[in-house]
Homo-oligomer: A and B are copies of this chain.
């Protein structure tokens, strides 16, 4: 049996310290759900003591049932001169109702003296007291030994004493952190091996990427006996980021036979990475190992040729194993298996050679070239499939709309929309105001449609995302709009792309309404 490696994802804690990263409460819940589905072991969700928004998150999360992961709350050790039971950060961990905690403490003597400004002995007590207190309340404790490798270089004896303090207070795991990201893999391997020999318990590794070797160092630590690996799913984090879990997981599992996530979930790796990038509103780096769009792209003619003859000639793994796809950027021959698989969901009677399947794939490729992306917009994808298999009905037609906006304005409603639609030969013209052109459009559209379809009153938009494609085109570039809607029962997401944000929003709004009307109609039949 493969040796189990516990993966701890810190996207929501350490990752949130990356430049330009910020999460809403709903973003956090969605990321936790995606990570749980992939099957990581621990999700470090936040620091409830220092961030009141995180306290709200833990309140919500305590009511969600996860399949694979334990959710952990993060805190420093107690402050100096205060009893553990009186420390507000430790109290916040208990209040958060988690069963797993991550407590970090200083292990570098220099930090103890110059940043914490206390004595080495008091720091050891701070570690011991904090962990003993949290353990006494029945929680699992993972101890993050901050700056462990720098500390070990500066004063090995003291660094080990901090681990001793944690272990003797009952910590379940001690984690060696390369907080400044400066350690080289050989040092990490060597030190981890020494620690593993001294401590007969779970040892973890937490690397950063400041010397570009966060992945390699994490793997060296595993070779040396570490069985818990910390990082972030797409490598985000302060400065140069945390060790990238979407690289570490397949490296360890596919290439070295360790078990990081349930075997059957490995094919979800790419989707999970993309989903997290989408929620963070960043583009997943094209060249990210395993999960990036270019990870299996063969541009050089010679390479593409080699791959046609024999995939392993220029591919280190079959991209399907991690749910990614081979790409030939010049010939634009995208892999089809996953698309076909999706079509079956709505049209189980089709096979991969059916005329409709071929047409749908052609249409899909054309739309993707225009910037549409159906990964996060299953609602629009379903409509696209339905249009080709005859399970579709047009509920209304647009005659035209006009938007008028500007500055300065006399009210919060800075834009107005006028709209004329036609339903079964009857037309309806109306107008509405809104906070900006998209909101005005949304309001006018509902006002016109509800005359014919009162059920649309149930529909609320709950998410609206805008992504600028090819930002180099500046204000003349295409934008992709994703709209998530709910009628209180289901939730669906639709997509629109255009150089005009209003048109992109219109396309996504039309899909959203049609989705609702088609599903209502089928339910009645």
Q: Which residue of B lies closest to A303 (CB)?
A: B238
Taking a contact as CB atoms under 8 Å apart, the answer to whether B239 and A179 are in contact is no
Taking a contact as CB atoms under 8 Å apart, the answer to whether B414 and A500 are in contact is yes
Give which listed residue, B287, B295, B401, B434, contacts A407 with CB less than 8 A: B401
Taking a contact as CB atoms under 8 Å apart, the answer to whether A471 and B475 are in contact is no
Choose the segment among A131-139, A180-188, A344-352, A354-362 that binds chain B (4+ C-beta atoms closer than 8 Å): A180-188
Q: How far is the CA of A22 from the CA of B471 in the complex (A)?
A: 13
Taking a contact as CB atoms under 8 Å apart, the answer to whether A333 and B474 are in contact is no
Taking a contact as CB atoms under 8 Å apart, the answer to whether B472 and A115 are in contact is no
Taking a contact as CB atoms under 8 Å apart, the answer to whether A287 and B241 are in contact is yes
How many Å from the CB of A443 to the closest CB on chain B? 8
Taking a contact as CB atoms under 8 Å apart, the answer to whether B299 and A17 are in contact is yes
User: B residues within 8 A CB of A161?
Assistant: none
User: B residues within 8 A CB of A479?
Assistant: 436, 466
How many Å from the CB of A285 to the closest CB on chain B? 7
User: B residues within 8 A CB of A238?
Assistant: 297-300, 303
Taking a contact as CB atoms under 8 Å apart, the answer to whether B235 and A287 are in contact is yes
How many Å from the CB of A153 to the closest CB on chain B? 12
How many Å from the CB of A113 to the closest CB on chain B? 10
Taking a contact as CB atoms under 8 Å apart, the answer to whether B460 and A464 are in contact is no
Taking a contact as CB atoms under 8 Å apart, the answer to whether B501 and A474 are in contact is no
User: B residues within 8 A CB of A119?
Assistant: none
Quick one: given A239-B298, A247-B211, A465-B471, are A286 and B19 in contact (CB under 8 Å)? yes
Quick one: given A19-B375, A251-B211, A500-B435, are A407 and B240 in contact (CB under 8 Å)? no
Taking a contact as CB atoms under 8 Å apart, the answer to whether A475 and B505 are in contact is yes
Q: How far is the CA of A57 from the CA of B210 in the complex (A)?
A: 36
Which residues of A from 461 to 499 have beta carbons under 8 Å from B? 461-468, 470-477, 479, 483-484, 498-499
Taking a contact as CB atoms under 8 Å apart, the answer to whether A239 and B297 are in contact is yes
Q: How far is the CA of A434 from the CA of B500 in the complex (A)?
A: 9
User: B residues within 8 A CB of A181?
Assistant: 316
How many Å from the CB of A253 to the closest CB on chain B? 12
Taking a contact as CB atoms under 8 Å apart, the answer to whether B468 and A474 are in contact is no
Copies of chain A in the complex: 2
User: B residues within 8 A CB of A247?
Assistant: 211-212
How many Å from the CB of A455 to the closest CB on chain B? 18
Q: Which residue of B lies closest to A183 (CB)?
A: B316
Q: How far is the CA of A185 from the CA of B463 in the complex (A)?
A: 37
Give 1 or 0 for each of A284-297: 1 = CB within 8 Å of chain B CB: 01111100111111
Which residues of A from 493 to 514 have beta carbons under 8 Å from B? 498-503, 505-506
Interface size class of A (residues with CB under 8 A): 35 or more
Quick one: given A463-B472, A475-B464, A505-B475, are A500 and B405 in contact (CB under 8 Å)? yes
Quick one: given A316-B182, A471-B465, are A402 and B403 in contact (CB under 8 Å)? no
Quick one: given A212-B215, A300-B17, A462-B474, are A437 and B405 in contact (CB under 8 Å)? yes
Q: How far is the CA of A248 from the CA of B216 in the complex (A)?
A: 14
Any B CB within 8 A of the CB of A442: yes
How many Å from the CB of A347 to the closest CB on chain B? 24
Taking a contact as CB atoms under 8 Å apart, the answer to whether B472 and A468 are in contact is no
Q: How far is the CA of A467 from the CA of B280 in the complex (A)?
A: 10
Any B CB within 8 A of the CB of A323: no
Taking a contact as CB atoms under 8 Å apart, the answer to whether A281 and B437 are in contact is no
How many Å from the CB of A311 to the closest CB on chain B? 11
Any B CB within 8 A of the CB of A519: no
Give which listed residue, B114, B186, B293, contacts A310 with CB less than 8 A: B114
Which residues of A from 263 to 301 have beta carbons under 8 Å from B? 281, 285-289, 292-300
> Can you name 21 A-B pairs with beta carbons within 8 Å?
A17-B299, A17-B333, A19-B329, A24-B472, A110-B313, A115-B313, A211-B251, A212-B244, A213-B215, A238-B298, A240-B288, A240-B294, A281-B472, A400-B408, A401-B407, A402-B404, A415-B502, A461-B475, A463-B472, A464-B471, A466-B467
